[in-house]
Amino acid sequence: MNWDDVKDAVAGMAPIIGTAFGPAGTAAGALVAAALGVGNSPKEVLKAIKNDPQAAIKLRALELEHKYDFERLAYANAVEHRKIDTLDIQDARKRDTAIYVNGYHNYRADILAFMAFAMLCVMVYMINGNIGIKPEVLAIFNMAIGALLKMIGDVFAFEFGSSRGSKEKELREVVFSSHRLGFFN
């Protein structure tokens, strides 16, 4: 049992507190435990939420009393998640740069982008081609098309995003350094 289990239970009673749980929100667990009068462990807090009929009132009072603190924790969690996402993208770009510097090309990304675009075209054709798709299936197709458009958008954001200039600059610096050090002579 961990704080994620508690987060789900708390979010139904006090939504702002629920959003405060996360990488930067372990302090939220301590505040909830203190408000419920139990030890600072997820198991004890969850037990108190389930067994105490006044738990919802106590959590709502805690939320109103510390609204600013919980909103700050929720914001810190959002920032932390964004940092993690950014690091993930940076690692992928560094990997692509290393592949390029070593004289190779990353075909996997090209193939995935092409497949997403091809599936999008096939689905649009099926919808507009008078094939007689049932409305239930059409709803699924619409969701799949939305997902495919998101994937294609992610490819463009990765390749042509605001940091593309930084990516190209980094690549030029790596290639220049490699030539200067004699790797390509």
Say which DSSP state 161 is in. Answer: S
Number of H helices, E strands in the chain: 9, 0
Q: Determine phi and psi for 62, rounding to 5 degrees.
A: -60, -40
* Confidence band, pLDDT 50/70/90 cuts, at residue 175: low
Q: Give the pLDDT score at 185.
A: 46
**pLDDT per residue over 114-153, tens digit each?**
898 899 899 888 888 877 788 888 888 889 999 999 888 8
- 103 conformational bin, left if phi > 0, alpha if psi -120 to 50, beta if neither: left
Q: Directed axis angle between helix 55-65 and helix 67-101, to 10°? A: 80
Q: Determine what percent of the chain is predicted with pLDDT higher than 70.
A: 83
**pLDDT per residue over 57-91, tens digit each?**
888 888 888 777 777 777 877 888 888 877 777 77
Burial of 174 (0-12, 13-18, 19+ CB in 10 A): middle
CB 93 within 8 A of CB 161: no
Joined together, the tokens standing for residue 122 give: 């096939």
Q: Give the pLDDT score at 118.
A: 92
Q: Which residue has the tokens 């059409």?
A: 138
Q: Give the pLDDT score at 172.
A: 64
Joined together, the tokens standing for residue 182 give: 């004699």
pTM: 0.41
Q: Where are the domains of the chain?
A: 3-72, 106-180
